Amino acid sequence: MPELPEVETTRRGIEPHILGKTIQRLDIRQPRLRWPIPKQLDACLTGKHIQNISRRGKYLLITVTGGTLIIHLGMSGSLRILKHRQAAGPHDHVDMQLSGGTLLRFTDPRRFGAWLWTSDPVDDHPLLSSLGPEPLSNDFDTEYLHRSAQKRKVAVKPFIMNSHIVVGVGNIYANEALFRAGIHPARAAGRISRQRYGLLVASIKAVLREAIEQGGTTLRDFVSGEDSPGYFRQSLLTYGRTGAPCKNCGAPIREIRLGQRSTFYCGHCQH
DNA sequence: AGAGGTACCTGGCAGC
DNA sequence: TGCTGCCAGGTACCTC
């Protein structure tokens, strides 16, 4: 579920419901996520006011007095707001009870997600300190990406999915951005011209912006918790379309594996 | 330093 | 119906 647009959609979805509220209690049913939920997290959060909800890459950052809760949704995680009591299912690992009767519930079947705490400046946290720029910021530009790719032999698709190069570009949007830029996903990162990196930077920004506008590829109603098909899914030009005609030229979309990830491209349009 | 593989987990699905 | 194997939107960490 969560690539950057999904995480940003989550951030925007929960913010109006939790900003300014007081954390009354944390109910941890399953502490074994990617890393164990810290034992002291409950004590760190209880009684604190939520001051800010931000995002760095795919990390959600919930700032309270005295520190920051760092949440990652992993492969299958989701957050939703419950206004009415609802029994917890087997994958509902954490509930955050807030003032005014609001509940923030974390669900994550595969448990690749994370709930961590830091009382230091959040950008100094080891998970965040060496991340690349935000793809929608001005720091992520043609010059930066082209320079970062010099002499790199890795294929361009895993290159742009590397969070130390740029954050937030997951498998779906990497495929889509490379298609829009006309770049073959297996091409060595160091063998792409500056001009073509200009196209790629613009494509990454465009595809992420459009996906955020449409609420991500999977869409969630944060209040009711009902899942509904993400509107961006119908905009996908390559992802999951193996054998289907390229919407640009009609040639069949091909599927290969790069860095153990499914990769989709048009052999006619992408070089 | 860079490249590639492994690990963490569960659920769903294709194929037998 | 049930088993097996493979796949899944992420990413830190290990080895070479």
The Cα–Cα gap between A220 and A232 comes to: 13
The residue from A56, A58, A105, A157 that is catalytic is A58
Does residue A110 reach within 7 angstroms of strand C, measured from its CB?
yes
A58 tagged catalytic:
yes
Does residue A260 reach within 7 angstroms of strand B, measured from its CB?
yes
- Residue A229: the pLDDT is 55
A21 tagged catalytic:
no
- Residue A233: the pLDDT is 81
- Residue A120: the pLDDT is 95
Does residue A34 reach within 7 angstroms of strand B, measured from its CB?
yes
Mind listing the pLDDT tens digit for each residue in A132-172? 999 999 999 999 999 999 999 999 999 999 999 999 999 99
- Residue A227: the pLDDT is 52
- Residue A214: the pLDDT is 85
Which has the higher per-residue pLDDT, A225 or A54?
A: A54
Does residue A147 reach within 7 angstroms of strand B, measured from its CB?
no
Report CA dihedral (A43, A44, A45, A49) to the nearest 10 degrees: 130
- Residue A223: the pLDDT is 47
Question: pTM for the full model?
Answer: 0.95
Mind listing the pLDDT tens digit for each residue in A97-117? 999 999 999 999 999 999 999
Average pLDDT over residues A20-48: 96
What values do phi and psi take at A150, rounded to 5? -55, 130
- Among residues A111, A150, A149, the alpha carbon closest in space to that of A158 is found at A149
The Cα–Cα gap between A214 and A197 comes to: 26
| Tokens encoding A271 | 């070089």
Asked whether residue A89 carries a pLDDT value surpassing 60, the answer given is yes
* Mean pLDDT over the full length of chain A: 93
Does residue A74 reach within 7 angstroms of strand C, measured from its CB?
yes
Mind listing the pLDDT tens digit for each residue in A198-256? 999 999 999 999 999 887 775 444 444 445 556 788 889 999 999 999 999 999 999 99
- Residue A220: the pLDDT is 46
% of chain A with per-residue pLDDT over 70? 95
Asked whether residue A66 carries a pLDDT value surpassing 90, the answer given is yes
Report the protein residue whose CA lies nearest the C1' of nucleotide B6.
A260
| Tokens encoding A70 | 């760092």
- Residue A228: the pLDDT is 53
Strand B nucleotides, any atom under 7 Å to a protein CB? 2-11
Average pLDDT over residues A255-260: 92
Which residues, in sequence order, are bridge partners of residue A49?
Answer: A22
The Cα–Cα gap between A164 and A42 comes to: 31
Average pLDDT over residues A53-74: 96
- Among residues A152, A173, A169, A153, the alpha carbon closest in space to that of A161 is found at A169
Q: Residue A74: which nucleotide is closest by CA–C1'? A: C10
- Residue A219: the pLDDT is 42
Does residue A261 reach within 7 angstroms of strand C, measured from its CB?
yes
The Cα–Cα gap between A92 and A165 comes to: 33
A261 tagged catalytic:
yes
Mind listing the pLDDT tens digit for each residue in A117-132? 999 999 999 999 999 9
Helix axes A194-213, A171-181, angle to 10 degrees: 130
Tell me which DSSP letter residue A251 carries. Answer: P
- Among residues A199, A234, A227, A230, the alpha carbon closest in space to that of A217 is found at A230
